[in-house]
Structure 1
Amino acid sequence: MTDALNNKNTNPDYQPSANGHIQDQLVKDSIVHKQHISAQAQARQSPVLDTSSNTATDSSHSAEFTQVQDLPTGTPQGQQTTIPNSSTNTSAPAQPNTQTAKQTAFNQRDDINNPHTSDTDGAEETHFGYKTINKAEKQARVADVFTSVAKKYDIMNDLMSFGIHRLWKRYAISLSGVRAGQHVLDIAGGTGDLAKVFSREVGRSGHVVLSDINAAMLEVGRERLINAGCNNVDFVLANAETLAPFDDESFDLLTISFGLRNVTDKDAALRAMYRVLKPGGRLLILEFSKPVFEPLSKAYDLYSFTALPIMGKLVANDSESYKYLAESIRMHPDQQTLKQMMEQAGFENCDYHNLTAGIVAVHRGFKA
């Protein structure tokens, strides 16, 4: 495992530790410079005219993520970044004013296509970590968490897992069977670790869609992949429970990495994944699971509920979000239960592979 972590030839994100502080400063300088250039470019653009009110609106809200109806067949469109049409959600509230925005507990744009409302679910409850809340509230609360941690998400992953998350993801990719020319959907893909590799593997004739429900996370992934030259990737805001923007049987491969445990209705999400997968396609779920070695389980609990919130406070200035993340891992179905859920959704030949003694597992299923 140590050799694998130190193998810079097979790990594209490898960085020598000796010069880490110098590289960190260079990266920070590059980001600041890019933001400065972007701000100058945006300032030169003419404002978008809202014809219904004859008032100018902020162009930054109209040119960020890809409209699914604009996704061409077999043509890379990675540089096309327009926000999904808000008119598809007729129940969405108007853009709040400043006073209202301060009272709102979450970013309204992250609360897209929420299938759970007081009308549809009534007082039905679910869990948010160890807390019990109404189903209609969970999506917004999860949005709060990931909006808060988005900018520090990658560095916290490295710190929390001691870099081992890269090995977990590499193993999941090895099970994907991805080939040139295929269409891949990375659900809840966040900062784009898997999508970046898939972009290279599918090549010019293939296509990758990086989707996430959270705009802040998706923006981090968009900047990262575009800067890496991944011009066969699109970025789409989508709810994993419905995958509403995508047509039936659209993708050869679906992946969801450390995202399923945050979904309100996991069964609905699995059914949506089955719907958009082509016959013969496969689903890969990389997720925290139940350790199979009891002494390790106790040590893991101690680490999760003490060290993680402390690191979250020091690095991301947010201990509560990392307390939730630790709790959400414990509330996630174990290996056998998740396998059964996949089979109930229609997937065949389902199996799972424990990694690091079951702290993480890769589940795999196929559509006949």
Structure 2
Amino acid sequence: MRDDKQTTHFGFRQVPVTEKAKLVRNVFDSVADQYDLMNDLMSFGIHRLWKRLTIFLSQVRYGERVLDLAGGTGDLTRLFHPRVGDKGEVVLADINAAMLRRGRDRLTDEGIVRGVRYAQVDAQCLPFEDDTFDCITIAFGLRNVTDKDKALASMYRVLKPGGRLLVLEFSKPTSELFGKVYDLYSFKLLPLMGKLVAGDPDSYRYLAESIRMHPDQNTLKGMMTKAGFERVEYFNLTQGVVAIHRGYKF
């Protein structure tokens, strides 16, 4: 039984474990309408390159089944769709209904209908059968999960043997000097952009804090290995601001 007094981090704050999911949901309810625009502004558009590299490293082929976990507004699903073709399937999944709805509307407007399903799910307890997917991606979502070890174990369970997990997430800059510049940008400019564009500086302050609380590259590699993944490796992007971790289930 979970101890109601157990706490976890929400940004830099300590909150009861039972409350974190609700707090995270409130953040993404708030930012959903401006999410794509803010991604472009915050990353100067580079997030599109990070996502394309994730697709490349996924090695997804025609006819495969892909789970785009924490898929939000559907950027990765949109890129996976032509790769899996009419014999494959992409499941766009997110715990947040507002984000999932925005992703579905966006893809439908673009004519992407066949071969895509939508599911509102919790990464910690995925409602899929064992050995279901050839590939799972989670982009900029793992840091918001309360129990990351439980989520990684759940992802491992629903992957087919030979399947792979790719985690695209903010990480730790490899240069101390660049890290200081990045801190200044994150804690000063991001909340200001959030205020001016989305009218919500607090949500973007949380996003900056959640990045700092996320495990660094080697720690996450160890967590994936502990969950059962093999040949785990990571690729630093933009001087380690972002990293792609890849692991296989054999």
Q: Which category of TM-score, normalised to the shorter sequence, fits these structures?
A: over 0.9
C-alpha displacement of 1:176: 0.5
Q: 2:122 aligns to what? A: 239
Q: 1:82 aligns to what? A: none
Given that 1:121 and 1:136 are in contact with CA atoms closer than 8 Å, whether structure 2 keeps it comes out as no
SS in 2 for 1:284: strand
C-alpha displacement of 1:120: 2.3
Deviation string 1:51-90 (CA, Å, 9 cap, x unpaired) is xxxxxxxxxxxxxxxxxxxxxxxxxxxxxxxxxxxxxxxx
User: In structure 1, what is the Cα distance between the partners aligned to 2:153 and 2:3?
Assistant: 19
Q: 1:129 aligns to what? A: 11
Alignment gaps of 5+ in structure 1? 1-118
2:68 matched to 1:186? yes
Q: Which amino acid is the alignment partner of residue 237 of structure 1?
A: Q
TM-score, length basis structure 1:
0.67
SS in 2 for 1:279: strand
Q: 2:153 aligns to what? A: 271
User: In structure 2, what is the Cα distance between the partners aligned to 1:319 and 1:227?
Assistant: 30
Q: 1:66 aligns to what? A: none
Q: Which amino acid is the alignment partner of residue 239 of structure 1?
A: D
- Aligned equivalent of 2:192, options 310, 314, 336: 310
User: In structure 2, what is the Cα distance between the partners aligned to 1:121 and 1:293?
Assistant: 39
Q: 1:216 aligns to what? A: 98
Q: 2:35 aligns to what? A: 153
Deviation string 1:217-238 (CA, Å, 9 cap, x unpaired) is 0000000111122221011000
User: In structure 2, what is the Cα distance between the partners aligned to 1:276 and 1:330?
Assistant: 29
Q: Which amino acid is the alignment partner of residue 217 of structure 2?
A: Q
2:170 matched to 1:253? no
SS in 1 for 2:67: strand
- Aligned equivalent of 1:177, options 39, 45, 59: 59
User: In structure 1, what is the Cα distance between the partners aligned to 2:230 and 2:111?
Assistant: 36
Deviation string 1:246-284 (CA, Å, 9 cap, x unpaired) is 111100000000000000000000000000000000000
SS in 2 for 1:357: coil
2:218 matched to 1:336? yes
- Aligned equivalent of 1:195, options 77, 89, 106: 77
User: In structure 1, what is the Cα distance between the partners aligned to 2:32 and 2:82?
Assistant: 24
Q: 1:282 aligns to what? A: 164
Structure having the higher Rg: 1
Deviation string 1:15-58 (CA, Å, 9 cap, x unpaired) is xxxxxxxxxxxxxxxxxxxxxxxxxxxxxxxxxxxxxxxxxxxx
Q: CA RMSD in A?
A: 0.7
Alignment gaps of 5+ in structure 2? none
2:207 matched to 1:325? yes
SS in 2 for 1:127: strand
The 5-angstrom pairing of residues 30-179 of structure 1 reads: 120-179=2-61
Q: 1:297 aligns to what? A: 179
Higher relative contact order (CA 8 A, sep 6+): 2
Deviation string 1:95-136 (CA, Å, 9 cap, x unpaired) is xxxxxxxxxxxxxxxxxxxxxxxx623211100000001100
User: In structure 2, what is the Cα distance between the partners aligned to 1:265 and 1:293?
Assistant: 29
Q: 1:26 aligns to what? A: none
SS in 1 for 2:239: helix
SS in 1 for 2:86: coil
- Identical columns (%): 63
Q: Which amino acid is the alignment partner of residue 120 of structure 2?
A: L
User: In structure 2, what is the Cα distance between the partners aligned to 1:208 and 1:121?
Assistant: 37
C-alpha displacement of 1:200: 1.0
Q: Which amino acid is the alignment partner of residue 253 of structure 1?
A: C
Higher strand content, 1 or 2: 2
TM-score, length basis structure 2:
0.99
SS in 2 for 1:352: strand
User: In structure 1, what is the Cα distance between the partners aligned to 2:61 and 2:111?
Assistant: 19
User: In structure 1, what is the Cα distance between the partners aligned to 2:49 and 2:177?
Assistant: 23
